[in-house]
Amino acid sequence: MSTNSRRAGAPRFAGKVVQLLAASAIALAASPALADTNGISLDAVSSETFELAASGEASSAQASPAPAPAAPPAQRPAPPQPKTFETKIVASQFVDAPVGGDARSFARYGGRVDGYFTFNASPKFAIKLRPEFTWGETSNGEIGLIPANTALFRPEGAGDFDLSASALFKFGKGATLEVGKMNLLDTSGELPIVASNGHYGFQNLGIALPPTAVVPNTLTGAMLTVPSGKMIYRAWVFDPDSQYERTGFETAFESGVGFLAAAARRTSIGGKPGVVNLAVVGSTRDSYAVDILPRALTPPPQPIGNFGNESGELAMQLSFYQYLNLFPEAPGKGWGILARFQASSGDPTFLDYSGYFGFSGNPRWRPQDRFGVAYFHYSLTDELVEDIAFRLPLEDEDGVELFYTYQFAKGLGLTGSMQVVDSAVAFRDVGVTLGARLTAGF
């Protein structure tokens, strides 16, 4: 694909995706058929809470006759009180190998362990510690620019251990404020239907934790979440520099201030729950994200290069997650569609637009298992492509990922995956990577 075809394809792809998702969002927000049905709450948009509440109440509402008019409404049981100390550890081992394309065809082994420790000092206050450790090698960078293994992705030249710590304040009606250093893999893992955080679900960074080129994967700041009826509002303020292996005091907003404002609305199609989310994200930085951009893409300094001479970043994200089927015989299980589109104003953001579309969930014959297939597309900002064209010709990057997780027992699963990627590096052939992942959670 030439640079000209890259630029010609970009508006068509962006236009089609924007029209599709915008039309879906408008229809979902406006249609009276998508009103508050089945009493499904979005107080916490986590995959587990979302699925259990949705399928349990939706299936019972469809299978049971309507109650007599005089019968009083059933009262929901009060949620269980959290334990004073909550602990969870998740460990995964990975083997992946490129089997097609230009990459060297040999297997690479690596692993990751994440700890989740919460001290609930009171019903309204908690302290969270989040250590992580990685080891081994991956095929990241062997085929595509977007890392193929989210769990083992880390900034270039960084070490294998990091620790995040934050304080969580809880207010009335489900509102929360989290302040400190936070890993966005946890937020990504809570997305309905996607539910991918490196250990589970999709593995490619383009789907598991879509890079915005504005928000770092590990950040220091504050995250406010306010549920209100069918809506959930979010507001973030953060340091735009990556905080991996940092406390947050080293940079202290020296590159500017990042922000995110989002509104999510619960929807329902055919009695099946869904979520549509619109977010605006940006920063006041006056240069590109040096600590996030791969070194191979570093542009020449000004005035030789043009990329990075603008100030301020702004991007829009539109996401849509909708269940298409829920299994009455297996509460909390089903499958649906996932879609996301992002567009930025360009320089100094090095991604000008990106998106994905796919299906994910549980197979009916083995509802404890999970499967997924998704297509993703990424475009680098034109000014950056032009600045480095003399040494590295670039175009858009497209890819497809398929995975299936066989759940042996609670907390223990084996995942097989395949990724087919048409790399952004123009002279690379289409590459195929096969991978296996063994995950244990306890």
pLDDT digits (tens, 9 = 90+) for 115-134: 999 999 999 999 999 999 99
Give the mean model confidence (pLDDT) for residues 369-395: 95
User: What separation in angstroms does the CA of 163 have from each of 18, 166, 179, 183, 248?
Assistant: 38, 10, 15, 9, 11
The Cα 412–Cα 399 span in angstroms is 28
Q: Kindly report the three-state secondary structure assignment for every residue of 38-61.
A: CCCCCCCCCHHHHHHHHHHHHHHH
Q: Report the pLDDT value the prediction gives residue 91, as an integer from 0 to 100.
A: 98
The Cα 399–Cα 421 span in angstroms is 4
Q: Report the pLDDT value the prediction gives residue 293, as an integer from 0 to 100.
A: 83
Percent of the chain with pLDDT over 90: 65
Q: Report the pLDDT value the prediction gives residue 74, as an integer from 0 to 100.
A: 53
Coil, strand or helix at 399: strand
Whether 92 has a pLDDT exceeding 60, the answer reads yes
Whether 372 has a pLDDT exceeding 80, the answer reads yes
Supply 413's token pair: 């699963």
Percent of the chain with pLDDT over 70: 82
pTM of the model: 0.82
Give the mean model confidence (pLDDT) for residues 289-317: 86
Write down how long the chain is: 442
Higher-confidence residue of 166 and 106: namely 166
Strands (E), 185-301: 218-228, 231-238, 258-269, 272-283
Give the mean model confidence (pLDDT) for residues 412-437: 96
Strands (E), 106-257: 108-122, 125-136, 161-170, 176-183, 218-228, 231-238
Chain segment 181-237, per-residue pLDDT in tens: 999 999 989 988 999 999 999 999 999 998 888 999 999 999 999 999 999 999 999
Alpha helices in 159-305 (DSSP H): 184-189, 205-208
Give the mean model confidence (pLDDT) for residues 271-292: 92
Contact 294, 155 (CB under 8 A): no
Residue type, position 346, single letter: G
Whether 106 has a pLDDT exceeding 90, the answer reads no
CA 90 to chain centre: 18
The Cα 405–Cα 413 span in angstroms is 6
Contact partners, residue 290, CB within 8 Å, separation at least 6: 298
**Mean model confidence pLDDT for the chain:** 84
Supply 73's token pair: 């409404």
Contact 155, 244 (CB under 8 A): yes
Q: Report the pLDDT value the prediction gives residue 176, as an integer from 0 to 100.
A: 97
Higher-confidence residue of 391 and 78: namely 391
Q: Kindly report the three-state secondary structure assignment for every residue of 73-93.
A: CCCCCCCCCCCCEEEEEEEEE
- Maximum C-alpha span of the chain: 78
